[in-house]
């Protein structure tokens, strides 16, 4: 369907009409790449705050990097970003953050489209160990373990879900000979990093409310729920 612009049609309404036309075209041809490209264009035009061009990663020539650092952080996920931000509060320290992947794509800001980033170059594409007790419906009894290979880590490809590890996993690490890694040891750091905004959890002894990592419920609620 072609849209013939009317001089009396408000600009916002024209934009909406063009958007629907673009979506219809991409869906009718089955061009997933075109569909994603359309969304990225809309984000660039309508939500420049998400793009945040001023603070995007820039390439720094090797010769401009310092020869030594006070701290080296391996990985660029949520936890590492919080740690990096905390350390940079001391202006006398130099910090190097190393991430195997590149900058997160604009489309990762749309949670519903994050599934298109799985099993790509942004994903380490790990698999669980074969087992006789789980992943029975999968080939070789192995499930995919989606893990982000990108700035933002797994938070860039997991629909923006906030998920902590299981208490028993931390306690098992401690019991295997890693003191300081038990659940009770790491919980204070989870609380320190969190800014829990969900009303029912703000008073919980397991969550913090003054950290840089904001946790909230989705703003959109489906009418069926």
Residue 4: the pLDDT is 47
At 173-201, the pLDDT tens digits run 999 999 999 999 999 999 999 999 999 99
**Model's pTM, two decimal places?**
0.72
At 35-85, the pLDDT tens digits run 777 778 888 888 888 888 888 888 888 888 889 999 999 999 988 998 999
Rounded to whole angstroms, the Cα distance separating 169 from 34 reads: 42
Class level of CATH domain 164-225 = mainly alpha
Rounded to whole angstroms, the Cα distance separating 128 from 139 reads: 11
Residue 13: the pLDDT is 62
Domain boundaries defined on the chain: 1-54, 164-225
**Is 104 in contact with 151 (CB distance < 8 Å)?**
yes
Please choose, from the candidates 218, 215, 217, the residue with its C-alpha nearest in 3D space to the C-alpha of residue 82: 215
Res. 29: pLDDT tops 60: no
DSSP secondary structure letters along 80-111? HHHHHHHHTTSTT--EEEE-SS-PPPGGGGSG
């Amino acid at each position: 369907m072609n849209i013939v612009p009317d001089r009396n049609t408000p600009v916002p309404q024209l934009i909406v009409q063009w958007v629907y036309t673009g979506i219809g075209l991409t869906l009718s041809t089955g061009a997933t790449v075109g569909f994603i490209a359309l969304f990225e264009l809309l984000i660039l035009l309508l939500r420049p705050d998400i793009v945040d061009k001023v603070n995007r990663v820039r390439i720094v020539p090797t010769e401009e990097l310092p020869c030594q650092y006070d701290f080296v952080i391996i990985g660029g996920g949520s936890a590492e970003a919080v740690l990096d931000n905390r350390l940079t509060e001391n202006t006398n320290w130099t910090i190097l953050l190393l991430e195997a992947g590149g900058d997160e794509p604009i489309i990762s800001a749309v949670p519903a489209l994050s599934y298109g980033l799985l099993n790509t170059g942004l994903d380490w594409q790990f698999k669980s160990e074969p087992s006789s007790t789980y992943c029975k419906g999968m080939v070789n009894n192995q499930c995919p373990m989606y893990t982000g290979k990108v700035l933002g880590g797994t938070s860039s490809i997991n629909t923006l879900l906030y998920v902590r590890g299981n208490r028993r996993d931390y306690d098992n690490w401690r019991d295997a000979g890693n003191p300081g890694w038990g659940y009770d040891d790491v919980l204070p750091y989870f609380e320190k990093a969190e800014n829990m905004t969900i009303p029912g959890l703000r008073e919980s002894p397991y969550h913090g409310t003054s950290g840089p990592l904001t946790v909230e419920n989705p703003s959109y609620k489906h009418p069926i729920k």
